[in-house]
Amino acid sequence: MSQSHKDILKLEGVSKFYRTRGNRYRRGGGTVVALSRVNLSLRPGEIFGLVGESGSGKTTAGRLVVRLEEPDEGRITLDGVDITHLKGGGLRDYRRKVQMVFQDPYQSLNPQMTIADAVAEPLITNKVGDPADRLERVLGVLDTAGLSPAEDFIYRFPHQLSGGQRQRVAIARAIVLEPSLLVADEPTSMLDASYSAQIFEILQGVRDQMGATIIFITHSMAAARYLCDRIAVIYHGHLVEQGPAEAVINSPSHPYTKALIDATPKFGRCEGVPTYGTYLPAPRPAGEQAGCPFFQRCALAERLLCSATYPEWRQVAGEQVCLCHFAAEGGQSPPPPEECRLGG
Amino acid sequence: MSVQQATLQSLKAGRRALWRQRLAENWRVFRGNLLGKIGLSLLVMFGLMAGLSYIPPLIDPMYHPMTGVDPLVVKSTGPSLTHWLGTDFMGRDILSQLLAGARVAFMVGVSAAFMSVVLGTAVGMTAGYLGKTTDTLLMRLADMIMVLPTLLVVLMLAALFGQLSIWMIVLMIALFRWPGVSRVIRAQTLSLKQRPFIDAARVAGASHTRIIFRHIMPNVLPLAFLYMTFRVTSAIVIEAGLAFLGFGDPGTVSWGMMLQWVWKTGHMFTAPYWLLPPGICISLITLSFYMLGRAMDEVLDPRLRDETQAG
């Protein structure tokens, strides 16, 4: 926290609730907590991974950052400027700096728009350059996104491209304004594995060449390990562990992180390697609860302590912090054998 | 700079080529549809009739569909060399009336359908995009208008205000026939609004106006266009019904009007050469617009295409 003045993006105590509407028969609506008091800070030029299972709130976090939605509590700042409740012109200026790549490339491009129009759209809405200027930038950015020769792609419609090509178009569209922050929401979950590696390389290139900070949202520990500098693990709207990608994945400390790693398929020589076994197959509780959010599904939980008291952040090693009553400095698990580690 | 300009030119050319390619593709699907081919040929025939309707009055004033009376004829006569389809009760040429009727049918059908589709699309998109109170108000209004029996209401209005001009009838039909279109367009807008490319447009900084006109409208227009062909049918039928019942525009010759004259002058069972042509024309033109609509349906919705032709 000491170098907080250098952080590009900060989320402070950000919560987001969704109200479910009641109807005539099921009186009254409930509240679903999508994010609960999340604190995050991103350093300029890093690739930050947000890892969690389906419905853990990781996409919500991304949508809050690009302000597709407004948080119910807390504050989001970019370069020290509060953007939590920006509207109108301020929001438009903000969106010049923050762009997003969506999960499904089959859905995130307008089927009636040519590639040239789709990629140029951010330039047009932000009144950048004249048509010739914009075309040049579109061609350049398509090239950066690995679609070359770019001239062959600009007259096509999305349905004439493959999934991987569409996702490259979506990335090109997101980086055409040269944003300082890019949110990539599971950009590879709809693609073949062979495309994923290429998309990762493009994202790395965006970081290295444009100096953009990237929030990489994923459910895959291996992808996070491969691409990210730091990662945060999110469960049911709560951050539970945060730290350098290498440390969090090779020597996880939170039971949930361990469960996620257990859930990753392992092959070959690693079949005999013991798992952490921290996961209890129990249903995920629907509402908010007083104690640890992972309590019902945690094999290590002690009923009295964990069900009643919300855990505190504890430092495990260096920058690795963990939200668990049982985490202790140096208490992280030893790394598995070299050949069985995730990623590469 | 010149290189840039050249690329820009080629982009424009490429875009035009793209649209041509798209049209050609759609035309190929359309051509593969038998109903569509029949419908289109019939419509071309009616179109020719409408175009030819200007010729008979030029040949001889007695062929004017409304005012031209053959001085040698005093009662309805059957087909002859001077009057290919015969004459009506006061010696007017039936063929020239039939041709003029095609012109009126197209005019009424297309303009009423166009107006109701424009109105319906605007209302549907507004309701779907804005949602909440606007949606409720507009859709309840649509419901109220939708349950009104159009023909009956227009009849009552005609009875109240005397004879309506043809354009008043067109306007009336348009005003009563938009709710169906608006419901469909609203549903489509609602589903489009949830699609990620709208979110993507918002992130790209697009304004509401831009989202509506650049992202939602191009995606609902094919559907609106499809509905237009079906609306043409209903507009023609309503106009014919009104005219037959004696509430049409007395200054125009429409097929419904011709039927009314047959009936009113008691030639219903004695002059088939007078009764059948307008009757057949009304049936055929509505049928052909319907068939055209069905074929367009297939062009616009790949799921309806014949699997063997895919690829």
- DSSP codes joined into one string, A84-142: TT--HHHHHHHHHHEEEE-S-TTTSS-TTS-HHHHHHHHHHHTT-S-HHHHHHHHHHHH
**Cβ A16 vs Cβ A34: under 8 Å:** yes
Question: Which of A70, A112, A190 to mutate: most B Cβ within 10 Å?
Answer: A112
Maximum C-alpha span of chain A: 68
Q: Does residue B123 sit within a domain?
A: yes
Q: A301-334 pLDDT, tens per residue?
A: 777 888 888 888 888 888 888 888 887 776 666 7
**pLDDT score at A28:** 60
| Chain B hits for A136, Cβ within 8 Å | 4, 7
Q: Does residue B18 sit within a domain?
A: no
| Chain B hits for A68, Cβ within 8 Å | 199, 202-203
Q: A88-132 pLDDT, tens per residue?
A: 888 888 888 899 999 888 888 888 888 888 898 999 888 888 888
- Half-sphere exposure of residue B160, counting CA atoms within 13 Å on the CB side? 6
Question: Which of B3, B11, B132, B300 to mutate: most A Cβ within 10 Å?
Answer: B11
Q: B138-152 pLDDT, tens per residue?
A: 999 999 998 988 888
| Chain A hits for B200, Cβ within 8 Å | 100, 102, 108-109, 170, 173
**pLDDT score at A116:** 87
Question: Does pLDDT of A140 surpass 80?
Answer: yes
pLDDT in tens, chain B (311 residues): 566 677 777 777 777 887 888 888 888 888 888 888 999 999 999 999 989 888 888 888 788 887 877 778 778 888 888 788 888 888 888 888 899 899 999 999 999 999 999 999 999 999 999 988 899 999 999 999 989 888 888 888 888 887 788 898 899 889 998 998 999 999 999 999 988 899 999 898 888 889 999 899 988 888 888 888 888 998 999 899 988 888 888 888 889 988 898 888 888 888 888 889 999 999 999 999 999 988 888 887 766 555 444 33
Cross-chain CB nearest to B4 (options A92, A132, A170): A132
Kindly report the nearest CA distance between residue B302 and chain A, in angstroms.
Answer: 13
CB-CB under 8 Å, A108 with B204: no
CB contact residues (below 8 A), chain B span 209-238, against chain A? 210, 214-215, 218-219
**Cβ B233 vs Cβ B289: under 8 Å:** yes
CB-CB under 8 Å, B8 with A173: no
* Predicted interface score ipTM higher than 0.90: no
Beta strand residue intervals within chain B, DSSP E:
none
Say yes or no: B6 contacts chain A, CB-CB below 8 A.
no
CB-CB under 8 Å, B14 with A154: yes
Kindly report the nearest CA distance between residue A69 and chain B, in angstroms.
Answer: 10
User: What separation in angstroms does the CA of B112 have from each of A21, B104, B159, B238?
Assistant: 42, 12, 21, 11
Say yes or no: B197 contacts chain A, CB-CB below 8 A.
yes
Kindly report the nearest CA distance between residue A7 and chain B, in angstroms.
Answer: 22
Task: Look up residue A122 and give its two tokens.
Answer: 């951010």
Question: Does pLDDT of A266 surpass 80?
Answer: no
- Identify the contact set of chain A against chain B, taking CB-CB distances under 8 A: 63, 66, 68, 92, 95-96, 98-100, 102-104, 107-114, 116, 121-122, 125-126, 131-133, 135-136, 139, 151, 154-157, 170, 173-174
Tell which CATH architecture fits domain A4-219: 3-Layer(aba) Sandwich (3.40)
Cross-chain CB nearest to A102 (options B4, B199, B215): B199
Say yes or no: B23 contacts chain A, CB-CB below 8 A.
no
CB-CB under 8 Å, A157 with B18: yes
Say yes or no: B21 contacts chain A, CB-CB below 8 A.
no
Q: B234-264 pLDDT, tens per residue?
A: 899 989 998 888 888 888 888 998 889 888 8
Question: Which of A65, A126, A155, A215 to mutate: most B Cβ within 10 Å?
Answer: A155
What is the percent of chain B where pLDDT is above 70? 95
Residue of B nearest to A92 (CA): B205
CB-CB under 8 Å, A135 with B7: yes
Task: Look up residue A23 and give its two tokens.
Answer: 């109807």
Question: Can the peptide bond before residue B61 be classed as cis, meaning omega within 30 degrees of 0?
Answer: no
**Residues forming a β-bridge with B297:** none
Cross-chain CB nearest to B197 (options A63, A107, A155): A107
φ, ψ (nearest 5 deg) of residue A328: -140, 155
Q: Does residue B22 sit within a domain?
A: no
Q: A15-32 pLDDT, tens per residue?
A: 888 877 766 565 566 778
Q: Does residue B7 sit within a domain?
A: no
Say yes or no: B136 contacts chain A, CB-CB below 8 A.
no
Mean pLDDT, chain A, as a whole number? Answer: 83
Cross-chain CB nearest to A135 (options B8, B18, B202): B8
- Residues B116, B183: Cα–Cα separation, whole Å: 12
- Residues A113, B218: Cα–Cα separation, whole Å: 9
CB-CB under 8 Å, B219 with A121: no
Q: A237-259 pLDDT, tens per residue?
A: 888 999 998 888 888 888 888 88
User: What separation in angstroms does the CA of A334 have from each of A80, A250, A255, A272?
Assistant: 38, 8, 14, 16
Say what the pTM is: 0.81
| Chain A hits for B193, Cβ within 8 Å | none
Say yes or no: B301 contacts chain A, CB-CB below 8 A.
no
Domain with CATH 3.40.50.300 in chain A: 4-219
- Residues A169, A101: Cα–Cα separation, whole Å: 10
Using DSSP, state whether A49 is helix, strand or coil.
strand
- Residues A239, A257: Cα–Cα separation, whole Å: 11
Pick B299 or A61 by higher pLDDT: A61
Question: How many residue pairs bridge chain A and chain B with CB atoms within 8 Å of each other?
Answer: 87
Residue of A nearest to B6 (CA): A132
Residue of A nearest to B200 (CA): A108
Domain count, chain B: 1
**pLDDT score at B142:** 93
DSSP letter at A276 equals: -
The CATH number of the domain holding residue B70 is 1.10.3720.10
| Chain B hits for A133, Cβ within 8 Å | 4
Cross-chain CB nearest to A108 (options B10, B197, B206): B197
CB-CB under 8 Å, B200 with A173: yes
